[in-house]
Structure 1
Amino acid sequence: MEIKCTNNKTFELTDNSEKLGHLTYDSLFSFKANAVVGNDNFKITPKGIFSTTISVTNNETEVASMQMNWKGNITISFPNGHAFILKATGTFLNKYVLEDQDGQRLMLLNPDFNWAKFSYNYSISYDNKPQDILLVLLATYAANYYIAAMSSSVY
């Protein structure tokens, strides 16, 4: 699987050139975004004064939430009680691992910065292919959020 930035606002998730979904930001310097998986459209909206909590809704119903903690980890929580944690890893904290509640690694997002387009593409590695495409797109959103928060490019 891989995520390609088609323009500075849209990230497309593909697997062997099959398009699985995409993530589109409202504007270049915004945390507001839309994720599309099949016919489902999910709205991603920051909450609060510091935008550390993010709501994911589908037809005005919250289907997930994300929150960054003081360690810089981002927790992705679903109403059914399932939670996942995105952590920066690597020598320079330049890769992102998504773990479940038990600390089992589900996938690794390896960003590749494209200097010509000034954007990131991601290669996604995993032991078992993720079935939840929304979770993959939310992990991508969380990695972008982490990069923006650590570089202070978006506020």
Structure 2
Amino acid sequence: MRIISSAGKGDFILQETDQKICEMHYKNWFSGSAHTRLKGNQIELSPKNVWANKVRIHKNGRIIGDIAFNLRAQMIIRLETEEEKDIRYILKNKGSMKARFQVYNESEALQFTLLSEWVWKKFRYNYEIEFADFDERIDRDELLAYCGYAANLYFALISTV
């Protein structure tokens, strides 16, 4: 499975083998607003503030969670389940010279890793996804779409520091 950058403004495709699962489209590079259609659901992500360090997640017009950047340079993805329970995932960059994002659940169990590949010709990142023991408390493809967005947001926020 892969996340493939498809446009300079941040757009990316979530792809399994040769099948496109969804494509995240950004309004423009500076707005941070993005949307996709995934399994019949309309997903929209929009910054809560001008610094874009916190982002709202909307699914079919309803706020279901957020993505926040914490002081440890981690991205916290908080999602509300249908039972209205909060589930949190943490995206951490574990790479030094090359970005390697690991996604953990609340129990600190590794869910999957996004291995970055810098594409010089296009000046953007693609990611190969390596799965660990995914807990399936939320749809895997949906969480991967949020993680692709969070990885882009991570680089945008880190580059401003």
Report the TM-score when normalising by structure 1: 0.90
Aligned length: 153
Partner residue in 1 for 2:7:
7
Q: Which amino acid aligns with 1:109?
A: L
Match of 2:118 among 113, 116, 123: 113
SS at match of 1:86: strand
2:27–2:34 contact (8 Å) kept in structure 1: yes
Rounded Cα–Cα distance in structure 2 between residues aligned with 1:91 and 1:28: 25
Within a 5 Å distance, the mapping from 1:105-144 to structure 2 comes to 105-128=110-133, 131-144=139-152
The unaligned stretches of length 5 or more in structure 1 are: none
Q: Which amino acid aligns with 1:98?
A: V
1:35–1:44 contact (8 Å) kept in structure 2: no
Give the deviation of 1:58 after TM superposition.
Answer: 2.0
Identity of aligned residues (%): 23
Give the deviation of 1:138 after TM superposition.
Answer: 0.4
2:60 aligned with 1:59: yes
SS at match of 1:67: strand
Rounded Cα–Cα distance in structure 2 between residues aligned with 1:49 and 1:4: 27
Rounded Cα–Cα distance in structure 1 between residues aligned with 2:24 and 2:61: 18
Rounded Cα–Cα distance in structure 1 between residues aligned with 2:107 and 2:160: 31
Runs of 4+ deviating beyond 3 Å: 128-131
1:128 to 1:51, Cα distance in 2 relative to 1, 3 A: same
2:41 aligned with 1:40: yes
Render the CA deviation track for 1:53-108: whole Å, top value 9, x for unaligned.
11011232112211111111111011221110001102336211110001111011
